[in-house]
A and B are shown apart, each in its own frame.
Chain A
Amino acid sequence: MTPVLRKRATEVNHNNARTRQGSLVLLILLLIMAGSPVGAQVKYEDILKGPAENWLTYSGGYSAQRHSPLKQIDTGNVGSLVPKWAYHVEVGRRLSSVPLVYDGIMYIGNSNEVHAVDAVSGRVIWQYRQENVTGGARANRGVGLLGDKVFFVTGDCYLVALQRETGALLWTHQYADPKQGYHCTVAPFAFKDRVIVGVSGGDSGIRGYMTAHSAETGEEMWRFWTVPTKGEPGADSWGPKTLDWGGGGTWMSGSYDPELNTIYWGTGNPWPDFYGGDRPGDNLYTDSLVALDADTGKMKWYFQFTPHDVWDWDGQQFPVLLDLPYQGRQRKLVVQANRNGFYYVLDRVSGEFLHANPFVDQLTWASGVDKNGRPILVENTYPEPGGVEVCPTVRGASNFMSPSFNPGAGLLYIIALEGCDIYISSAREPVPMVGFAGTGGEKPPRNTNQFFLRALNPTTGERVWEYPMTGPTIMWAGTLSTEGGIVFFGDDDHHLVAVEAKTGEHLWHFNVGQQLFSSPITYMVNGRQYVTLVAQTDVFTFGLFEPLKSIPLVKTTREGL
């Protein structure tokens, strides 16, 4: 092993060998350095390759398969996985971010702050905290990486660019106005020369949109509205009362097909969440998957999972891009296990609906879908003042818990929540940005809700195996697949769990003792593979057991003391 583990400096300062010529070279070097960025660049091509040593975007790669080719940790040795370090986020309350890793540095997002941590030792390199944020702390889903920059959004919707190795501020750009009901939590989605961000606030009335920004300056390049304005196509799917405040948040990151130059992004619920009387129609483009031209933001197609939603079933579960044979023909697919309980297979070139089937047993609002994928509604499932029991729950049959796909096993792994809620609603005047009090979902008196990790055949939606969880059904953690033949996932009892990819057999678990809101990742530094899970207030990193050799104390002096 080289003594300097990660030395990108092309030269090291040899004090005793410095000549005048050397000083001159140093001076010229310093002059070049001044004003120019330091460190290696995260190239778009690096992100295109998908996860390996690094984990460069929310889902590891643009296809959102969350499958790592790393296999040092495999089914044979995962039993000796041990904690390597924990990093405490001082003001973390419910950390919801997926960390990114590049070149031995991990980037962790929290409300209005970013932490850069040595990915081997867990020691902090820099922290950036944005003070004076309107509206205080919000959830944060993580950062984006591109070039020499780290991107994150503040709760009040500033997109912020920091220098990757120092945390120095490069620029800020406010892309949504909190006075219009927006707040922001999204992990910026970086590709080519730009960054896409979205908005939250759909539960109290906003007009949803997403924007693309120049990675260099933050300047807005395009904007896509998830709710049309009067006169535009789709506007007639709303009544006049809520068109300007129809919701359609864009709070999860998306996926991207570079060949088709298309962004796939899920949109949130229509507003008011649980009362549809003031918004007659399908309420386009809420609860949908939208396919956008990556250069212009123009919509190529959309598919709406839950037309005229009255159960708060955002369409934000991660769209996974798969190239697989479908009924005998190789096709470009996009699949999603939706919050409404159906698993969908679409052609991602055309948006054509191919298949849907329930991925939970408890599904009472629809009896199935028609040939276009439109749900066939069951009567008396709309929320009522006295409450109506409907399955799945408000939280949904799945949610932002990340799915993953193992190409070798040919299986898609999703988190499913079996359960029902009592949905309550009543007619009242919608007041934008105030919310819609007195409506919502409550757990039935005897709560039998339960989480499962389920492995699906990705083209038929057939359940191949499942791993049931115990717990109070309060978790939000997702899955990670590895070439080592393992599915890692966070469970409902604070465990990081490893199961065998083909069978779901238990291999390993560790209790981190904290509630989980994020999904595991894996990376490699200096030839060692690590697995990281962000928990409620701390980040936990695991690796294979190695007996530690004694480390002698280094002679350390302080000049002048």
Chain B
Amino acid sequence: MRLLLYSLLFALPLAAQNPALMDEVVRDPNEDVYIGKKEHIAAGEQLYSVACSGCHGPEGEGGRGPNLAIGPAAQNKRPTQIHRSIKNGVPGSDMPPYGSLPEDQLWQLTAFVSSLSRPAYEMDIPGDSKAGQALFYGKMACSNCHMIRGRGGALGPDLSNAGLQNYVLQLREGVLEPNKRITPGFDPVRVITKSGDTIEGVAKNHTNYSMQLIDRHGNLHLLETRNLQEIVFLKNTWMPANLTERFSADEIQNVLAFVSRQAIRVPSPDDAGAEKESN
């Protein structure tokens, strides 16, 4: 009995403190009105550029305040949580409350911030996608390492589904700061075998006993560590980190526009559901 009482005492305040638990229960009807709606996202972007971009960066990439699309501040944030943070501020941080704004503007801001962590494919990124395609396969040589629907190389991730797998900011970061985050299975590596050969490429997988590696020529090596002398994980990926020096902002934007439009299967309302009986 005492145990039960304790449980109740602890459980109630915990639920109240934990916004994630609360949000399971409370869904604001404004979500249906504002979230994912183009005109509200655009209005929110206007407000954002005035009120928020100073700290969070013009594109939500972060600065004095956190990155709003990638990283801990953006993890699993539901619209009601974003709305609450804007309205009330974040206690213990520099984020002030914006409760004086009218409710529709708060929700427009929420719609914009939410859109930062929506698939890039949905965001209709500006830029000349056609020119971007020409750059991808031509002057910028992205296709030396990246493949889209069978055209390109194997040293970087396949980008056939890049528009659905990434937010805009993730794509942008991938192009501008390729060494900041590494896609699993693409760790840049150099191994020296016991017979003295050096193989450079990306590690698809790696344990104390085996390594599966694609070398810079695109060949797959299935290695046992008993045959290796040394493994060096490299600081920099094989992706050039100086694209901004070699290409104009417009050119980079065009490539982003092209890559963000790559999708294998766009979601349909009939999706999901548990495994069904089948023969």
Chain B interface: which of A123-131, A277-285, A377-385?
A123-131
Q: Which residues of chain B have C-beta atoms less than 8 A from A469's C-beta? A: none
Q: Is B247 an interface residue (CB 8 A)?
A: no
Which of chain A's residues has its CB closest to B200's CB?
A: A13
Among A4, A104, A551, A553, chain B packs the most CB atoms within 10 A around the CB of A4
The contact of A131 among B149, B265, B279, by CB within 8 Å, is B265
Would you give the 0/1 interface string for A6-49, flagging 1 where the beta carbon is closer than 8 Å to chain B?
Answer: 11110111110000000000000110011100110000000000
Q: Is A155 an interface residue (CB 8 A)?
A: yes
Q: How extensive is the interface on chain A, given as a class?
A: 35 or more
The contact of A132 among B199, B231, B265, by CB within 8 Å, is B265
- Nearest first, the 8 A-B pairs at minimum CB distance are A136-B273, A168-B158, A38-B218, A3-B227, A559-B235, A137-B275, A121-B210, A170-B150
Minimum CB–CB distance from B254 to chain A (whole Å) comes to 20
The contact of A9 among B144, B219, B222, B278, by CB within 8 Å, is B219
Report the separation of the CA atoms of residues A202 and B265 in the bound assembly, to the nearest whole angstrom: 26
Q: Which residues of chain B have C-beta atoms less than 8 A from A137's C-beta? A: 273-276
Report the separation of the CA atoms of residues A130 and B141 in the bound assembly, to the nearest whole angstrom: 27
Q: Is B18 an interface residue (CB 8 A)?
A: no
Q: Is the CB of A200 within 8 A of B144?
A: no
Minimum CB–CB distance from A517 to chain B (whole Å) comes to 12
Chain A interface: which of B38-46, B127-135, B201-209?
B201-209
Known: A9-B219, A170-B149, A200-B278. 8 other contacts (CB 8 A): A13-B200, A133-B271, A137-B274, A168-B147, A553-B208, A554-B231, A556-B231, A559-B236
Q: Which residues of chain B have C-beta atoms less than 8 A from A133's C-beta? A: 265, 271
Q: Is A222 an interface residue (CB 8 A)?
A: no
The contact of B214 among A29, A34, A166, A552, by CB within 8 Å, is A166
Q: Which residues of chain A have C-beta atoms less than 8 A from B161's C-beta? A: 131, 169
Q: Is B212 an interface residue (CB 8 A)?
A: yes
Residues 175 to 223 of chain A near chain B (Cβ within 8 Å): 178, 183, 185, 200, 202-203
Q: Is B229 an interface residue (CB 8 A)?
A: yes
Q: Which residues of chain B have C-beta atoms less than 8 A from A158's C-beta? A: 265
- Given the interface pairs A166-B158, A168-B160, the reply to whether A554 lies near B199 with Cβ below 8 Å is no
Q: Is the CB of B198 within 8 A of A14?
A: yes
Residues 176 to 198 of chain B near chain A (Cβ within 8 Å): 185, 193-195, 197-198
Minimum CB–CB distance from B147 to chain A (whole Å) comes to 5
Q: Is the CB of B205 within 8 A of A125?
A: yes
Q: Which residues of chain B have C-beta atoms less than 8 A from A118's C-beta? A: 205, 210, 212, 222
The contact of A121 among B197, B209, B215, B219, by CB within 8 Å, is B209
**Interface residues of B, Cβ cutoff 8 Å to A:** 141, 143-144, 147, 149-154, 158, 160-161, 164, 185, 193-195, 197-200, 204-205, 207-210, 212, 214-236, 264-268, 270-276, 278-279
Which of chain B's residues has its CB closest to A269's CB?
A: B279
Residues 151 to 176 of chain A near chain B (Cβ within 8 Å): 155, 158, 163, 165-172
The contact of A135 among B149, B208, B273, B279, by CB within 8 Å, is B273
Q: Is A261 an interface residue (CB 8 A)?
A: no
| CB<8 Å pairs between A and B, sample of 17 | A3-B197, A4-B193, A7-B221, A9-B217, A11-B217, A104-B222, A123-B207, A123-B212, A136-B271, A137-B273, A138-B278, A166-B220, A183-B276, A202-B279, A551-B209, A554-B228, A556-B232
Q: Which residues of chain A have C-beta atoms less than 8 A from B144's C-beta? A: 30, 33-34
Q: Which residues of chain B have C-beta atoms less than 8 A from A251's C-beta? A: 279
Q: Is the CB of A155 within 8 A of B205?
A: no
Q: Is A1 an interface residue (CB 8 A)?
A: yes
Q: Which residues of chain A have C-beta atoms less than 8 A from B197's C-beta? A: 3-4, 12, 14
Q: Which residues of chain B have C-beta atoms less than 8 A from A528's C-beta? A: none
Q: Is the CB of A7 within 8 A of B267?
A: no
Report the separation of the CA atoms of residues A171 and B276 in the bound assembly, to the nearest whole angstrom: 26
- Given the interface pairs A132-B268, A166-B158, the reply to whether A171 lies near B275 with Cβ below 8 Å is no
Q: Is the CB of A33 within 8 A of B217?
A: yes
Q: Which residues of chain B have C-beta atoms less than 8 A from A34's C-beta? A: 141, 143-144, 152-153
- Given the interface pairs A29-B217, A39-B220, A126-B204, the reply to whether A203 lies near B279 with Cβ below 8 Å is yes
The contact of B215 among A13, A14, A132, A200, by CB within 8 Å, is A13
Report the separation of the CA atoms of residues A13 and B219 in the bound assembly, to the nearest whole angstrom: 12
Minimum CB–CB distance from A89 to chain B (whole Å) comes to 13
The contact of B221 among A6, A168, A203, A559, by CB within 8 Å, is A6
Q: Is the CB of A12 within 8 A of B198?
A: yes
Report the separation of the CA atoms of residues A121 and B172 in the bound assembly, to the nearest whole angstrom: 37
Q: Which residues of chain B have C-beta atoms less than 8 A from A270's C-beta? A: none
The contact of A163 among B147, B207, B209, B279, by CB within 8 Å, is B147
Minimum CB–CB distance from B95 to chain A (whole Å) comes to 33
Report the separation of the CA atoms of residues A183 and B149 in the bound assembly, to the nearest whole angstrom: 24
Report the separation of the CA atoms of residues A202 and B279 in the bound assembly, to the nearest whole angstrom: 9
- Given the interface pairs A33-B217, A183-B278, A558-B233, the reply to whether A136 lies near B272 with Cβ below 8 Å is yes
Among A158, A202, A549, A554, chain B packs the most CB atoms within 10 A around the CB of A554
Minimum CB–CB distance from B89 to chain A (whole Å) comes to 36
Q: Which residues of chain A have C-beta atoms less than 8 A from B272's C-beta? A: 136
Report the separation of the CA atoms of residues A554 and B160 in the bound assembly, to the nearest whole angstrom: 36
Q: Which residues of chain A have C-beta atoms less than 8 A from B265's C-beta? A: 130-133, 158, 172
Q: Is A367 an interface residue (CB 8 A)?
A: no
Q: Is the CB of A139 within 8 A of B274?
A: no
Q: Is the CB of B210 within 8 A of A123?
A: yes
Q: Which residues of chain A have C-beta atoms less than 8 A from B278's C-beta? A: 138-139, 155, 183, 185, 200
Q: Which residues of chain A have C-beta atoms less than 8 A from B232's C-beta? A: 556-559
Q: Is A434 an interface residue (CB 8 A)?
A: no
Q: Is A555 an interface residue (CB 8 A)?
A: yes
Q: Which residues of chain B have C-beta atoms less than 8 A from A33's C-beta? A: 144, 153, 217-218
Report the separation of the CA atoms of residues A169 and B139 in the bound assembly, to the nearest whole angstrom: 24
Q: Is the CB of A35 within 8 A of B266?
A: no
Q: Is the CB of B154 within 8 A of A168?
A: yes
Report the separation of the CA atoms of residues A200 and B219 in the bound assembly, to the nearest whole angstrom: 38
- Given the interface pairs A118-B210, A133-B271, the reply to whether A559 lies near B276 with Cβ below 8 Å is no
Q: Is the CB of A35 within 8 A of B152?
A: yes
Report the separation of the CA atoms of residues A324 and B248 in the bound assembly, to the nearest whole angstrom: 72
Q: Is A560 an interface residue (CB 8 A)?
A: yes
Q: Is A50 an interface residue (CB 8 A)?
A: no
